Amino acid sequence: MRNLNRRQFIKSGSGLAAAITLGSGSASLLSKSLKKTNSIKMIGIQIGAPSFVDEGVEACLDTIQKRACVNTLFAMVYSYKEGLSGRAWPPVDHGRQQPRPKFHGGYYATLHPKYYRETLFKDNIQVVRAPDEGDFDLLASVIPAARKRGIKTIPFLADQIHEDIPQFEQMAEWDLHNRKLSRVCFNNPHFRSYLLAMVEDCVRSYEIDGLLWRSERWGALSNALSLSRGAGAVKNTEIACFCPYCLEKGKKQGINVERAREGYRVLEDYAAAARAGRRPIDGYYVTFWRILLRYPEILAWDMSWYDSLREIYKTVYAKAKSIKPDLPVGWALPHTVSFNPFYRAIADLQELAKYSNFIKIIAYHNDGGPRCAKYVDALHNTYLQDLSRDEALAFEYRIMGFSEGGYDEIHANGLSSDYVYRETKVWVAGAMGTPLQIWPGIDVDVSPGENDPPRSREGVRDAVLAAFRANAPGMILARMYSEMTLDHLSGAGDAIRQLGLV
């Protein structure tokens, strides 16, 4: 299974030979074809403020240019996630080598209060300024230096607000039982005005080359089944959102919101019983369908959540374009789109292309193994419990269009570059006929842990080769430069030079 990078493939776009192999001699054929048919490929990297502070702006840019031929920075301007805008621990072979300071996160550039007058932050927008790196302004410090080198800068904004911030509670999602969750509601007008103010601030205040907004969450149905996480027996499934704004919107859409709530209660009980191994008389799968048929409001409520997400996409896109019409605007999708057919079903690229210039998908080969295994655990804990775990994994591979090793193997070794190829190819095909660009995220030491799959320079190289072999117009090295070992980062450069892209 793991030698599939030599497999035959058919190129769907123009210019390449109909079928070639990616063996020792074929990379040059691919290289010639890429040169002939493509303009400059976007070679991106996710990088946060700590790296520039620890290593210096010029030194960082030197490293990523030399080792990985990067031409676009995805600068972590707004995030409360240490895995995006923090430091790795234990440290890798660059950056700060002492124990890392306590992480907080927030906005890593200068906030201009005049944009926030209509928001809950009208008197104290500085509360979202990240305190971690002092006065360091990520965009002001990096954009001029990057531009001199021909490197673009695209701010990366996440859909988060820290729970400790007083205004957060007024923007929170509510779960099925009216408990406030630690995440914001897309239908909350306070959150929307705050997000749009931040977009305006970012777009107007800096000479940026694009804007990326990220939301790695999913709707109530996937919450209820804990899809993508593989929940244990009694974990709070955080089925959301049932806040007053969502209820009001649902009613206006003609959804019977009380039936939706009741349906999710039944589904929650079903999932809890399934995780406890209490098999319904008619089996897990049939009973799951009985609930969906009895409560069609479950699906309507789930779709409403995704529609709200798409409304956010549309409004962010419109706001940014109203200021700079040519600014590329796009989104980062969660890894669950690789595994979760419900999320994949709503990710209709022909629709998204109307208000998206680019989309980052996650095609992490290493970390994808344990993540896929966890997803299969979630399936096997609930509606696919009638199958064996290996059968559930086989079902997953078949319906989602990739084929890898057994459960234990992907846990231990991750996924192969063939997964990167197949995943990229299907998304690129989905966007065919539109100008929408698909940029796969490439795993360079994502979230390393003790029992994680082995990582290597060659693995990164093969993943990058696979992404371009699938005709991606660009790719993003992820998750963050501060956790990438330099040798593994060089694997990206190996691939790019092999393909003659520089």
Residue 108 or 186: the one with the smaller Cβ distance to Zn ion is 186
Stretch that binds Zn ion, among 57-65, 196-204, 239-247, 318-326 (CB under 5 A): 239-247
User: CB of residue 373 vs Zn ion: minimum separation in angstroms?
Assistant: 32
* Amino acid, single-letter form, for residue 501: L
Give CA–CA dist 490/228, Å, rounded: 31
User: CB of residue 304 vs Zn ion: minimum separation in angstroms?
Assistant: 10
Contacts made by residues 375-381, CB under 8 angstroms, sequence distance 24+: 375/227, 375/228, 375/230, 375/336, 375/339, 375/340, 376/230, 376/407, 377/230, 378/225, 378/226, 378/227, 378/228, 378/229, 378/230, 378/231, 379/227, 381/226, 381/230, 381/231, 381/271, 381/274, 381/275
* Residue in 243, 444, 496, 499 binding Zn ion, rule: CB under 5 A: 243
Q: Which residue has the tokens 């019977």?
A: 256
Stretch that binds Zn ion, among 107-115, 157-165, 246-254, 370-378 (CB under 5 A): 246-254
User: CB of residue 241 vs Zn ion: minimum separation in angstroms?
Assistant: 3
Residue 304 or 357: the one with the smaller Cβ distance to Zn ion is 304
DSSP letter string over 128-194?
GB--TTTT--HHHHHHHHHHHTT-EEEEEEES---TTSGGGGGGEEEBTTS-EEEEE-TT-HHHHHH
Question: Per CB under 5 A, does 60 bind Zn ion?
Answer: no
Question: Per CB under 5 A, does 312 bind Zn ion?
Answer: no
Of residues 175-194, those binding Zn ion (CB under 5 A): 185, 187
* Residue in 241, 309, 352, 420 binding Zn ion, rule: CB under 5 A: 241
User: CB of residue 479 vs Zn ion: minimum separation in angstroms?
Assistant: 28
User: CB of residue 177 vs Zn ion: minimum separation in angstroms?
Assistant: 14
User: CB of residue 105 vs Zn ion: minimum separation in angstroms?
Assistant: 23
- Distances from the Cα of 110 to the Cαs of 77, 136, 138, 221, in angstroms? 10, 9, 9, 38
Stretch that binds Zn ion, among 78-86, 123-131, 244-252, 357-365 (CB under 5 A): 244-252
* Residue in 92, 111, 154, 246 binding Zn ion, rule: CB under 5 A: 246
Q: Report which of 477, 469, 478 is spatially closest to residue 501, judged by C-alpha positions.
A: 469
Residue 241 or 267: the one with the smaller Cβ distance to Zn ion is 241
DSSP letter, residue 383 = T
User: CB of residue 229 vs Zn ion: minimum separation in angstroms?
Assistant: 21
Which residues here bind Zn ion, judged by CB under 5 A? 185, 187, 241, 243, 246
